Amino acid sequence: MYIELFFTDDLLMDFITASLAAALMRRRPPVWRLLAVSAAAAAAACVSAYGAPFFRSLPARALQLALVSLAIPGRGLGLRLRAAGAVLTATFAVGGCAAAAVFLTGGSMNNGALIGGIGLRAGLIGAAAASLLPRAARGLRLRGAPDQTAELAFIYKGRRFVFRGMVDTGNSLTEPLTG
């Protein structure tokens, strides 16, 4: 494989993974930050694949994980650890989408490498499916309960009174048996 194709492929997958990780952390980093981190991680992957054996070691992999987690803005060790966890979760999800696309198109696995049944199309389907994950993750995030209060204001003898009360959606203001 040509190095520029390897770099482009890795850049795309790192961008999708970082976008999904940010969505899992409920963050919206700027696109330039996602691209910069993805380009740095793709360059590190190219060096790892085509050169220095240090980049294949466990410490180097941990550094690459830390690098991709920098796509998620914020400070502090706790946030960095949660970001690294989100990147690992996103990596499993994106890789799962790509593997599903390969297997659904008649592909197989050989010595740990996925062999696409239809080549480039399987990769594009996997990337397209993975690109939908950030929006799905944002849609699934838990939101607080809707506001169940209402404000009642009235004027009596020239004075304005404002009261807050709970909305009772179970009250239909009619007796259920007779209507």
Alpha helices in 52-166 (DSSP H): 58-69, 77-104, 120-131, 133-140
CA distance 84 to 127: 21
Of the candidates 49, 48, 13, which has an alpha carbon nearest to the alpha carbon of residue 34? 13
Q: What is the pLDDT of residue 125?
A: 66
Q: What is the pLDDT of residue 123?
A: 64
3-state secondary structure of 24: helix
Q: What is the mean pLDDT of residues 54-78?
A: 76
Local confidence band at 102 (pLDDT 50, 70, 90 cut-offs):
confident
Distance of CA 135 to the CA centre of its chain: 8
CA distance 177 to 103: 58
Question: Inter-axis angle of helices 3-24 and 58-69, to 10 degrees?
Answer: 60
Q: What is the mean pLDDT of residues 25-39?
A: 85
For the segment 134-176, what is each residue's pLDDT rounded down to a tens digit? 767 766 665 555 567 778 888 888 888 888 877 766 655 666 5
Res 82 pLDDT > 80: yes
CA distance 136 to 35: 21
